[in-house]
Structure 1
Amino acid sequence: MSSATQQLDAIAVRIAALGGGSGSVTALSDEARGSTELLGALPPRYGEVLLNLLDRLESSALFSEESCSFSQKDLLDNLQVWVDKARGQLVS
């Protein structure tokens, strides 16, 4: 298994943990932002989208769900879609 795939798997685990009510936004963000081999193996647009989603997720963590314009659940769903698409890029 390549390092890029391992980094993608680690991000997916962090997303699942947050979706399940455990884990932390900071841990997910740090994991994703530090995944240099993964981001290097993907087209540049993937990195831009990931960073945008992480920025919004970090913002949502600062506010209660009602006062934030970003739904944390929706952002986690979008991050999961990103993971699925990135996995497709790595295997093709």
Structure 2
Amino acid sequence: MHPAQQQLAALTGALQQLRGDTLAVAAFSRLAQNQTGLLAALPPQFATVLQQLLDRLESAALFSEESCSFSQKELLDSLQQWLEHAQLRLDKGDTA
């Protein structure tokens, strides 16, 4: 398995742990930001979008659901979509 695919698989597993409340938001965020091989294999806009999602997720974690403008469930769903798009891009081998 290519290193970028391995990192994507690790991030996918971490998102499942985050959804199951067995991984903290801060730990997920650090893991996601350290997937440099994955981010290097994807077009630059993937890194930008991921960072924006992580910033919102970290902000949402600081507040209760009612007082934050970001829904954690919606952010997790958006991260899932990001992972799916990244997988499609890696499968295509298209990094442009």
Residue 19 of structure 2 is matched in structure 1 by 19
User: Which 5+ residue runs of structure 1 have no aligned equivalent?
Assistant: none
**C-alpha root-mean-square deviation of aligned residues, in Å?**
0.7
Q: CA deviation at 1:4?
A: 0.7
Normalised by the length of structure 2, the TM-score is 0.92
Q: Structure 1 residue 69 and structure 2 residue 42: aligned?
A: no
Tell me the matched-pair count: 92
* Structure 1 residue ranges (4+ consecutive) displaced by more than 2 angstroms after TM superposition: none
Matches within 5 A, 1:1-92: 1-92=1-92
Q: Alignment identity in percent?
A: 53
| TM-score normalised per structure 1 | 0.96
Contact 1:14/1:27 (<8 A) preserved: no
Aligned counterparts of 1:79 and 1:48: Cα–Cα separation in 2 = 13
String of CA shifts for 1:24-63, please: whole Å, max 9, x gaps. 1111101110010000000001000000000000000000
Unaligned runs of 5+ in 2: none
Distance in 2 between the 1:21 and 1:31 partners? Answer: 16
Amino acid aligned to 1:13: G
8 Å contact from structure 1 (residues 14, 28) kept in 2: yes
